[in-house]
């Protein structure tokens, strides 16, 4: 997610092949000395024996093969081809060419010593027009992926929607149209009926905050809409689609734990003053509550409804019961805190907040503040406010654009980021929070949405000219951690 506003705008404002070559100098023997105090073996000892260390990706960001085997375009294929939407006009047409390099990439995942792989299934490969025709060749690809994971003893964590809505559905209004939630339910049913027997856990959506607010209010992600009514419609239709998919999954694959992945925001008030604290509460409602409340409490937040209830789409009787079905787990994606101050301007719309400066200059190469304690307080706040099931950290990681020099990527900032956030994760487990696993974002450098290929989040470097994969220093460190944890 790029240009993802780190300083959150008010509602009115318009927010922003070759082979695998492990790096030469960072083999296991030298790792401990190189990593200094960030000893991966000691860190591994702070996690329970059954804790899952994994890596994560998403279909459009890595697969490529956009026109192959019956896949039809998604809204991201269209959006990325519009001038000015994605940095340098990059698209996911080829990406990491993962579709054609599946076996090699599965070997790469295995070589990292991880026990879990989080990936997303591309709706436009399975039901290419969104409704109607089912594409067997698309299902075959995920058959091969799942069989490959199972053969390597790696658990499969699938996400059904990581932002690639079949483009045809835009003709009906995309996520603003209630009909899209029923189309999603059917896709979920088709995918899970065929693939569910080899999936260890499934998430309906990845980060609805991005596919709702960032895509329909701030205009940064596909379809690039900037309209509060469209955003409110997308909000309810997405929440409903989540609930309908939970029903479908429990029907066709009752043994697969179902969850939802949320990029919960750690909202920090700029000061202890009453106005800033009230602003932080409103920001919590707008950025977290509109997803957590309906799913875990069966209602939209009151302050949010007082501000926008009259512009919300029709909420039909029974919708909230569908949305609030019990989940088996939830996923936290965390990168950076959200600092907010009260926006006193009379025209400021709810939540009437402006961004506040970071606590320090520490930031990743995409400009996001590094502040690991906010991840800990976020988890504590969420478990205090909601009755949440067990949790996986489904994404966490850093953009560090350190390049390849003499066959090595010495990405110290990323390594340090992982160390800090995994330490916080271990602290949370120590306090009794039910965190069952952690997935590094990402397995490899990939198409970073509106930022295109210039922002790199991988544990593995990708040379987009040759498609060569090179494990970075952080990847070697993560391998040492995951291997030590796996015993």
Active-site residue identified among 207, 225, 369, 451: 207
Q: Which is nearer to ligand FCB, 26 or 366 (CB)?
A: 366
Q: Can residue 334 be called a binding residue for ligand FCB (CB under 6 A)?
A: no
Which of the stretches 24-32, 149-157, 185-193, 441-449 binds ligand FCB when contact is defined by CB under 6 A? 441-449
C-alpha triplet 19, 23, 26: angle, nearest 5°? 155
* CA–CA distance, 472 with 408 (Å, rounded to integer): 7
Q: Can residue 206 be called a binding residue for ligand FCB (CB under 6 A)?
A: yes
Query: Which segments of 291-379 are extended strands (E)?
Result: 329-333, 338-342, 353-355
Active-site residue identified among 395, 448, 451, 476: 395
Which H/E stretch holds residue 462?
strand 460-463
Is 451 labeled as catalytic in the residue annotation? no
List the x/- string, 364-403, binding to ligand FCB by CB under 6 A: -------------------------------x--------
Placement of tokens 């600092």 in the chain: 339
Q: Can residue 338 be called a binding residue for ligand FCB (CB under 6 A)?
A: no
Which of the stretches 203-211, 239-247, 272-280, 465-473 binds ligand FCB when contact is defined by CB under 6 A? 203-211
Binds ligand FCB (CB under 6 A): choice among 177, 210, 258, 341? 210
Q: Can residue 447 be called a binding residue for ligand FCB (CB under 6 A)?
A: no
Q: Can residue 139 be called a binding residue for ligand FCB (CB under 6 A)?
A: no
Strands 460-463 and 468-471 turn out to be: antiparallel
What is the separation, in whole angstroms, between the first and last Cα of the chain?
A: 35
Q: Can residue 58 be called a binding residue for ligand FCB (CB under 6 A)?
A: yes
305: left (phi over 0), alpha (psi -120 to 50) or beta: alpha
- Rounded (10°) CA dihedral 103, 449, 211, 164: -40
Phi, psi of 254 (to 5 degrees): -60, -20
Binds ligand FCB (CB under 6 A): choice among 263, 266, 324, 467? 263
Binds ligand FCB (CB under 6 A): choice among 117, 304, 392, 441? 441
Which H/E stretch holds residue 435?
strand 435-441
264 CB-side CA count, 13 A: 26
* CA–CA distance, 187 with 107 (Å, rounded to integer): 29
Is 395 labeled as catalytic in the residue annotation? yes
Nearest residue to the partner ligand FCB, using Cβ: 1
Which of the stretches 204-212, 271-279, 289-297, 429-437 binds ligand FCB when contact is defined by CB under 6 A? 204-212
How many residues lie near ligand FCB (CB under 6 A)?
A: 13
Q: Which is nearer to ligand FCB, 86 or 210 (CB)?
A: 210
* Residues 6+ positions from 323 with CB-CB distance below 8 Å: 239, 240, 242, 243, 294, 295, 298
Query: Which segments of 125-172 are extended strands (E)?
Result: 155-161
Shortest separation between residue 437's beta carbon and ligand FCB, angstroms: 16
Q: Can residue 417 be called a binding residue for ligand FCB (CB under 6 A)?
A: no
- Rounded (10°) CA dihedral 210, 212, 214, 215: 110
Q: Can residue 123 be called a binding residue for ligand FCB (CB under 6 A)?
A: no
* CA–CA distance, 277 with 401 (Å, rounded to integer): 36
Q: Which is nearer to ligand FCB, 206 or 402 (CB)?
A: 206
Q: Which is nearer to ligand FCB, 245 or 269 (CB)?
A: 245
- Residues labelled as active-site residues: 207, 395
- List contacts with ligand FCB (CB under 6 A): 1, 58, 61, 206-207, 210, 263, 333, 395, 441, 448-449, 457
């Amino acid at each position: 997610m790029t240009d993802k506003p780190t300083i959150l705008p008010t509602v009115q404002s318009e927010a922003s092949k070759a082979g695998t070559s492990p790096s030469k100098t960072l083999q296991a023997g030298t790792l401990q000395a190189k990593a200094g105090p960030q000893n991966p073996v000691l860190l591994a000892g702070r996690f329970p024996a059954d804790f899952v260390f994994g890596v994560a990706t998403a279909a459009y960001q890595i697969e490529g093969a956009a026109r192959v085997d019956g896949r039809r375009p998604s809204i991201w294929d269209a959006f990325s081809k519009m001038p000015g939407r994605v940095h340098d006009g990059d698209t996911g047409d080829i990406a990491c060419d993962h579709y054609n390099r599946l076996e090699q990439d599965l070997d790469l995942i295995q070589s990292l010593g991880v026990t879990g792989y989080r990936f997303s299934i591309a709706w436009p490969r399975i039901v290419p027009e969104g409704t109607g025709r089912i594409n067997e060749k698309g299902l075959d690809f995920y058959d091969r992926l799942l069989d490959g994971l199972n053969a390597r003893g790696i658990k499969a964590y699938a996400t059904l929607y990581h932002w690639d809505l079949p483009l045809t559905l835009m003709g009906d209004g995309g996520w603003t149209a209630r009909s899209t939630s029923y189309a999603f339910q059917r896709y979920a049913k088709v995918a899970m009926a065929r693939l569910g027997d080899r999936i260890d856990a499934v998430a309906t959506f990845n980060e609805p905050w991005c596919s709702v607010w960032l895509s329909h209010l701030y205009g940064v992600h596909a379809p690039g809409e900037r309209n509060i009514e469209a955003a409110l419609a997308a909000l309810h239709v997405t929440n409903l689609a989540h609930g309908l998919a939970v029903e479908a999954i429990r029907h066709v694959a009752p043994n697969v734990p179902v969850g939802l992945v949320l990029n919960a925001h750690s909202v920090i008030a700029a000061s202890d003053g009453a106005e800033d604290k009230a602003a932080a509460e409103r920001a919590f409602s707008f950025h977290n509550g509109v997803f957590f409340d309906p799913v875990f409490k069966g209602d939209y937040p009151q302050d949010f409804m007082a501000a926008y209830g009259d512009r919300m789409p029709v909420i039909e009787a029974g919708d909230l019961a569908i949305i609030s079905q019990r989940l088996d787990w939830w996923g936290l994606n965390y990168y950076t805190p959200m600092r907010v101050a009260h926006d006193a301007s009379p025209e400021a719309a709810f939540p009437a907040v402006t961004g506040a400066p970071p606590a320090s200059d520490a930031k990743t190469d995409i400009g996001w503040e590094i502040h690991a304690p906010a991840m800990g307080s976020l988890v504590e706040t969420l478990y205090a406010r909601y009755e949440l099931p067990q949790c996986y950290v489904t994404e966490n990681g850093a953009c560090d654009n350190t390049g390849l020099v003499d066959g090595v990527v010495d990405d110290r900032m990323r390594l340090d980021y992982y160390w800090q956030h995994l330490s916080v994760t271990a602290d949370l487990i120590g306090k009794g929070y039910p965190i069952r696993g952690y997935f590094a974002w990402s397995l490899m450098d990939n198409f970073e949405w509106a930022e295109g290929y210039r922002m790199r989040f991988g544990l593995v470097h990708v040379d987009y000219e040759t498609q060569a994969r090179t494990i970075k220093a952080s990847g070697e460190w993560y391998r040492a951690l995951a291997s030590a944890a796996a015993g």
